[in-house]
Amino acid sequence: MDFKSYKYKYLIIFLLSCYFIIIYENIIIFNVSNNSKDSKRIGIIGYKSDINIGNNLVKYSMYMILKRLGFRPTLIALKSKKNIYFLRKYLDIEEIEEYNQLNEDKYDILVVNSDQTWSYKYKYLLEAGFLSFAKNWIIHKFVYAASLAHDRWKVSKKILKKAKILVKQFSGVSVREKSSVNIIKNILGIKPTLVLDPTFLLDKSDYLKLIENFNYNIDITENYLCTYILDNSNIIKDFVRDASKYFHYKILPIQFNVDKYIEKFIFSLNICKSMITDSFHGTVFSIIFNKPFISFINNVRRGKDRFVSLNETLELTNRVIFPKKFEENDIAMLKHNPKINIKQFNKLKRDSINFIKKNLYLI
């Protein structure tokens, strides 16, 4: 074969190589564009507590965060006979009878959302907390701000064995309480990241948008002492009564499972002078709205660790207390805005958002 034959032979090989490279690169570009964040469908799975104000706002805040990051979130919720008007109004929802009805093809990512998703008392701990129904799904999964609710994790040996296997499917695991970091590390053998409750990742202005066209038929010129009490008692009732008499504030109780109760919660908190609560998220939103408040630790039914961890993390200086008689030293707490460790808060907020971004492959 002469020199010219060799020349043409290598030219043909070169041209064919270029052709296949172009085809290959187009395939890669196509796949990347189809898997961009704009096309990612994210299923949000959390604690089932249909009428709880905090739980609704946890779901709302995570949904909004993911949407702002450019994704297409959907709340996955077990069907409810109760009025979940707020979630249906503001969120895309896939309502199901049970978790094994979900289809892998509908989602690119699953996120286990806060609140008490990892509570040992939760009926759906393995399904909603550890995504047991999706253990064989070949999609991306992570956990955001799981709360144990308590300073211990009393799961059965059977559940623990399954949880140790299921936790390995997550690209990232984060918890909300400081004590949970070591508990999960010691029990499950992984060290989770400490993050803020999702509601802290939005600003006050974000929540005020929910009441822009809301009309609450109360006299806003009054001075109100707002109360959001989940488990009332005589000692709490006496405290509220004595505090309202001392300040000459009118008591404005926040109720749930009434018409537009979440909008009423935000509206009431926004106009009130002070807040008394035994709710974790009542405490959180008092901080977000910068309201003087006292938070009673709800230890019997709901666990004290959530309150203690929040108090320590943000250095709330004794605003979180056990129920007691109203005393003179409580006046300052109900008269002056809370001072938190803003440097620590801002760092945790950045770290929390970065945790979400990292598990969405944005950083």
Structure tokens at 195: 């993050």
CA dihedral 117, 120, 121, 122 (to 10 degrees): 30
- For the chain, how big is the Rg over CA atoms in Å? 25
Cα-based angle 235, 240, 244 (whole degrees, multiple of 5): 150
Helix (H) or strand (E) holding 358: helix 342-358
Q: How far apart are the first and last CA of the chain?
A: 56
Q: Residue 239 pLDDT more than 70? A: yes
Instruction: Give me the chain's average pLDDT, please.
Output: 88
Q: Which CATH superfamily hosts domain 37-202+347-358?
A: Glycogen Phosphorylase B; (3.40.50.2000)
pLDDT at 257: 78
For 74-121, the pLDDT digits (tens) are 999 999 888 789 999 999 999 999 999 999 999 999 999 998 999 999
Q: What confidence tier does 29 reach under pLDDT thresholds 50, 70, 90?
A: very low
pLDDT at 307: 87
For 127-171, the pLDDT digits (tens) are 999 999 999 999 999 999 999 988 889 999 999 999 999 999 999
Give the architecture-level CATH label for domain 204-341.
3-Layer(aba) Sandwich (3.40)
More confidently predicted of 20 and 288: 288
Candidates 158, 152, 129, 155; CA nearest to 142 is 129
**Residue ranges of the domains in the chain?**
37-202+347-358, 204-341
User: For 235-261, b where at least 16 C-beta lie within 10 A, e where not — what string?
Assistant: ebeebbeebbeebebeebebebeeebb
What is the mean pLDDT of the segment spanning 195-200?
97
Q: What confidence tier does 39 reach under pLDDT thresholds 50, 70, 90?
A: low
Helix (H) or strand (E) holding 55: helix 53-68
The CA distance from 143 to 191, in Å, is: 13
The CA distance from 206 to 270, in Å, is: 13
* % of the chain beyond a pLDDT of 90: 73
- Domains 37-202+347-358 and 204-341 are alike in CATH topology: yes
- Give me the half-sphere count of Cα atoms (radius 13 Å) on the Cβ side of residue 250: 11
The CA distance from 210 to 267, in Å, is: 9
pLDDT at 253: 97
What CA–CA distances, in Å, run from 286 to 176, 247, 329, 337? 18, 18, 19, 9
